[in-house]
Amino acid sequence: MAVLALVVVACSGSASSGSPRPSSAPSIGPSSAPSASPGGVGAIEHATGATDVLLRLEEGGGFVAPSFLATQAPIFTLYGDGTIVYRNPMKDGPPPVGDIFRLNPFRTARLSEDQIQATLERAFGEGGLGPARPKYENNMVADASTTIFTVNAGGLKKTVSVYALGMDDPTSADVLARAAFQKLAASLGDFDRGGTIPSQLFVPAGYRGILLDGGPGQPNARTWPWPDLTPSDFVAPADPNSFQLPVRVLTPAEVAALGVDQAEGGLQGATLIGPDGKFYAFSLRPLLPGEAS
């Protein structure tokens, strides 16, 4: 299957990049999408819950600033009910607001069962995840990021981590596998083909706010926006395997109190003057379905 072709059946599925719209996913139906395997629709068994992750692509690590690490989120997720939440990592977000860098917002849509099957078949087959090993290294590159694929369908449950994807040694024994992973990652990150397939703005139900000591004063610092919160309300999770920076789950209303429009994709670079008079660096990351913090 060279491509996953999708065509709109809902006449009003498109959303403009302007004002936020509800994050319920519109339906998009197949026309020339590859058929499922010979077993027919549902040939690849999978969970059907709205928070069950069937296929996920994320990228993390590398030599980057803490604010970048704090706001990293999965690039693409396919859930059991057919909902997809994704954003193209190559696309710019809204223009900066002073020193605040607004990130590219996520988009969402709903796949039919045929499209779920075709997406999983492509990932397992052409994308190379079916026979893939858990880990692919590249000792010729330092301080690069790691691309991580997670699959949980068809009796296959595993994570495939590929270090320095796209910086590949043509003499490596894994060159063909890495090329398949790179092609799959590119297609998932641009799942709507540059916006030609209708989707909606994903409006999160909650956000992860990350607060760090900001050091000396900043000329563009903003007044602390939350009268009912203090810096001590931002704490590192007790679970050592969780995100280990001072965080707090914020509601959309609390995010709106920052006074920064179009922040649905998250933000970096904000400086707040705390109620204690200290300066704090603040970052924001949207929570995806199934994420609690």
Q: Which of 17-21, 118-122, 254-258 has the lowest mean pLDDT?
A: 17-21
Inter-residue contact 210 to 245 (CB < 8 Å) = yes
Q: What is the pLDDT of residues 36-70, one digit of tens each?
A: 333 334 599 999 999 999 999 999 876 556 656 77
Residues 77, 23, 36, 152: is their CA dihedral positive or negative? positive
**Exposure letters 240-268 (e unless 16+ CB within 10 A, then b):** eeebebbbbebebebbeebebebbbbbbb
pTM comes to 0.83
Side-chain-facing half-sphere of 20: CA atoms under 13 Å: 16
Given a cut of 90, is residue 12 above it in pLDDT? no
Given a cut of 60, is residue 142 above it in pLDDT? yes
Given a cut of 50, is residue 26 above it in pLDDT? no
Going by C-alpha positions, the residue among 268, 267, 257, 252 that lies closest to residue 228 is: 257
Pairing of strands 107-111, 207-215: unpaired
Burial of 29 (0-12, 13-18, 19+ CB in 10 A): middle
Inter-residue contact 93 to 8 (CB < 8 Å) = no
Q: What is the pLDDT of residues 201-255, one digit of tens each?
A: 999 999 999 999 987 777 889 999 999 999 999 998 877 776 678 999 999 999 9
Given a cut of 90, is residue 159 above it in pLDDT? yes
Given a cut of 90, is residue 289 above it in pLDDT? yes
pLDDT of residue 17: 36
